[in-house]
Amino acid sequence: MGHNHNMLWFLLLCLIIGQGLFKEVKGLACNWGTQTTHPLQPSIVVRLLKENGFDKVKLFEADPGALKALGHSGIQVMVGIPNDLLGPLSSSVQAAINWVQQNVSDYISKHGVDIRYVAVGNEPFLKTYTDKYLQTTFPALKNIQAALIKAGLGKQVKVTVPLNADVYQTDTGLPSGGNFRSDIHDLMISIIKFLSDSSSPLTINIYPFLSLNADPNFPKEYAFFNGSAAPVVDGSIAYTNVFEANFDTLITALEKNGFPSMPVIIGEVGWPTDGDPSANAVYAQRFNQGLLNRIFQGQGTPKRKNLPDVYLFSLLDEDTKSVDPGNFERHWGIFYFDGALKYQLDMGGGKTLVPAKGVKYLARQWCIMSPDANIADPNLANSINYACSYADCTSLGYGSSCGGLDVRKNASYAFNMYFQTMDQRKGTCSFNNLSTITNLDPSQGSCRFEIMIDLGKHETAASPRSSAPRMQTSIIGLLMLLLLSTICGVF
């Protein structure tokens, strides 16, 4: 009787699950970039990942601290190979064998890292690279695959190449017109065939923000998942957002070239919060919440009903990333550089985002423009110029979080970013007698005056002298224009 009773409960449970009354929350994936002057301790980042439900992470390089911290964490890892290594790896099988041994095999066997993918290069076929990596990407991919097989990891660790969505296009403006770019068509088919034969996925990065940012006529609402823009009708399909349309353009390209079932990973997708008028916390929260809701629901696209793995870009801000694409490049994180919350997200299962714990900061002090200093001082412009040459001033740009500051606050922000980037060292708040140190937080509205992480209290430290970025002249010019325009009374 007891056996029959248990069997009835088992059948009832199966029926409930079958009816979808119990719904499992899909695991989350994200990118962890490390281009920053003041990195969080890797163990703190891993804890941040786990506490927010991320069970997959993509690294852009085989960072030793990050990989060791990920050991025995239960988090699956995609480890990247930077583009500057494609040349050496493409020309030498032994170089690939050595790389796999040092950056994959050793971390799996010695540290218990659950490495599932090796990402060979990062968007190597971008049009802006002007064919720089066309001859090396595929040979490097093949050599890394051979090295994984030699290491006995061919089934456990798969290769892939993260590609920007500009590798495909549509002449009709509709997903049904999708095909790979004519200049790389044959190369793309060769890579896709190789990946398919190796049971490996294709990885594509999709950025609705960039679609909006690049075209002043782009319908803003079409960038979001719950937008009110008029749908784009493609035959019997009506697309209500650019994410779906972009992804299905890729699927059409795969179908046209004989790979209708090719597995695809979305390697990067997200929204920045600063450095551009369209990069703000309100838009980022709206976009990322819509994305998360789709992940939790397993909602795919019209041509692929099952949503693939989606790696949110990105976990943390990075203050030394190149700003060639735009000042927003340093602000893609769902968290600030120190793991502090930017905005709240529903992470499923009744959970919300939680910030990093255990972060140690430098002293609670800021470098600002002295109240006694004159904004007409001839040394002021050069002082701001110098500060922003070695620290991140991208938040001062037009439409950014600190873009509305007056001249004095503008200078204070620049001085403080330099002071903090240089670890508040003695003499780094000295700008021609224009600056002073204060214990009163000068933050204003959405403009956050930072205090950096104390690297001396962490396991690893990066020297700001070597890693502090020298800023692009376009940013410096913007600051100079703002300063001079305000002094002269233009605004």
What are the structure tokens assigned to 447, written together?
């403009």
Lookup result for tokens 């927010």: 52
Annotated catalytic residue within 24, 51, 61, 123:
123
Active site residue 268: yes
Active site residue 318: no
What are the structure tokens assigned to 264, written together?
């695809």
Annotated catalytic residue within 61, 244, 268, 450:
268
Tell me the catalytic residues. Answer: 123, 268
